[in-house]
Amino acid sequence: MTKIYNILWVDDEHDHPEMEPFIIQAEARGIILIGYSNFKEGFEALQRNLNYYDGVLLDALFFFDESSTTPNKKGLGASIGKLNELKGKKVFPHFVLSGQSSFTDEQNDILEANDLRCYNKKEPEDVKELLETIKSEADIQTDLQIKHENQSLFEVLKDYPDSARDTFISIFKGLKGFDNQFDDQLYFTQLRIILETIFRRANAFGLLHDKCVQVSGGKVNLYESYLFLSGLDTNHFKVNCSFTHFPKLIANNVKTIIHTTGAASHTSVVDITENIHIQAYRKGVNTTYLLYSLALQLMDVLIWFDGYSKTNSDIAKNKSYWQDLEYDAEGNKFEISEIERVAPNGWASVLLNNKTKSISVYKGDVANLNLSAGDKIKFTIKDSSQAQNITKL
């Protein structure tokens, strides 16, 4: 997989047709240039999404803001000043590329004061050297190392809110030993929010029932969602899915994340300090490893879901597996299954739970309903082993 470098590019001519060869040349090296014509818009984008960008490329003369009519040095000076200001949050390798002779051929106060070189966009060798330097200097940055080491994950996260990427970068930094002081309340909450996003996306594909993501004004019920995607009956919504979407280990990962972070219902109202299991755990093991283990499990869930949703994107087909659950007056659930066999003594049997549980059908019901192998019936279960309230479908 090719390494990708996302570079903020501020140049008033970034979208000019003459720049297309340069853009293509950069992309061939994995450098994606995200262009803006002025300082204000470009650096607002940078500040909104610090962990997305891996470096900054500046023209020598460009617009200061949307109202500017003449490119000038003000934008360059403001850009360098802002990059220095942001060093406390993130250090961005930054470069200047221009065709202006006052920057490429003469001594320039701004460049000299900031120990910067101006690469000449009119010189092919200069451009080639610039692109290689962008990559080599960006590679030193911890954030980019993390993204390159975990490209499969971060490729998936392009479809998720920026906060998801930020969460995993912070966790990977902790794993690398840069920061081991995590607030469980904050990061457990972030993991739940990412899981909620997965479930919302599952609903958009028709994989998850609407009832699971439309609780109390649009909240996601995490545990009910887990049950539905695991092919199990929901506890409160009286629906299930006849097709099991979650593989066993993915289902286990999701269940562990939900229960450990205390999110038995929703993502936004859980106080981890009130989770007695976490607090008991903390008394003996007060480390960040629990958080890391949950994050790593969630990474597998994200990567699995990305592939699964792409190969199971037929919304109508996915919704065809949705089932409403019916109950009798005593609260017993109606099941639907086919007669597996009719024994010589007149009794019949049906199989439930992926054909792992056998339920008997009384011979009198078999005779009265004229049942034979292959017939579909609806029924409740008496004493966990015998069908009753039988209707032939």
Tens of pLDDT, residue by residue over 111-161, are 888 888 889 999 999 999 999 999 999 999 999 999 999 999 999 999 999
pLDDT at 23 over 90: yes
Least confident of 151-160, 163-172, 216-225: 216-225
pLDDT at 264 over 70: no
Tell me if the domain spanning 335-392 has CATH number 2.40.50. Answer: yes
Q: What DSSP letter does each residue of 332-381 carry, written as one string?
A: PBPEEEEEEEE-TTS-EEEEETTTTEEEEE-HHHHHHTT--TT-EEEEEE
Position 195 scores a pLDDT of 95
pLDDT at 250 over 90: yes
pLDDT at 180 over 70: no
Q: What is the mean pLDDT of the chain?
A: 89
Position 310 scores a pLDDT of 96
pLDDT at 337 over 70: yes
Residues across the chain: 393
How far apart are alpha carbons 308 and 314 in whole angstroms?
Answer: 12
Tens of pLDDT, residue by residue over 96-113, are 998 888 787 777 788 888
241 close to 227: Cβ distance less than 8 angstroms: no
Other beta carbons within 10 angstroms of residue 349's beta carbon come to 16
Which is higher by pLDDT, 218 or 172?
172
How far apart are alpha carbons 42 and 7 in whole angstroms?
Answer: 11
Least confident of 13-22, 37-46, 90-99, 186-195: 186-195
Query: What's the rounded mean pLDDT across residues 25-33?
Result: 96
Least confident of 159-173, 239-253, 278-292: 278-292
157 close to 165: Cβ distance less than 8 angstroms: yes
Q: What is the CA radius of gyration of the chain?
A: 30
Q: At 370, is the pLDDT very low, low, confident or very high (cuts 50, 70, 90)?
A: very high
Which is higher by pLDDT, 178 or 229?
229
Position 270 scores a pLDDT of 57
Beta bridge partners of 34: 8
Query: What's the rounded mean pLDDT across residues 43-54?
Result: 94
**Please, what is the angle between helix 289-311 and helix 248-260, to 10°?**
140
Using the structure block, give the residue that is written with the tokens 């961005």.
92
Q: What are the CA-CA distances from residue 320 to residues 205, 206, 222, 241 (Å)?
A: 12, 9, 22, 9
- Of 214-218, 347-351, 354-358, which one has max mean pLDDT? 347-351
Position 265 scores a pLDDT of 42
Tokens at 21, concatenated: 């060869």
Q: At 266, is the pLDDT very low, low, confident or very high (cuts 50, 70, 90)?
A: very low
CA-wise closest residue to 94 among 128, 124, 130, 126: 130
Tens of pLDDT, residue by residue over 313-325, are 999 999 999 999 8
Angle at 239 between CA 238 and CA 241, to 5 degrees: 155
The full set of domain ranges for the chain reads: 5-140, 150-319, 335-392
Q: At 267, is the pLDDT very low, low, confident or very high (cuts 50, 70, 90)?
A: very low
pLDDT at 52 over 60: yes
pLDDT > 70: what percent of the chain? 94
Using the structure block, give the residue that is written with the tokens 């790593």.
296
Query: What's the rounded mean pLDDT across residues 219-241?
Result: 93
CATH class of segment(s) 5-140: alpha beta
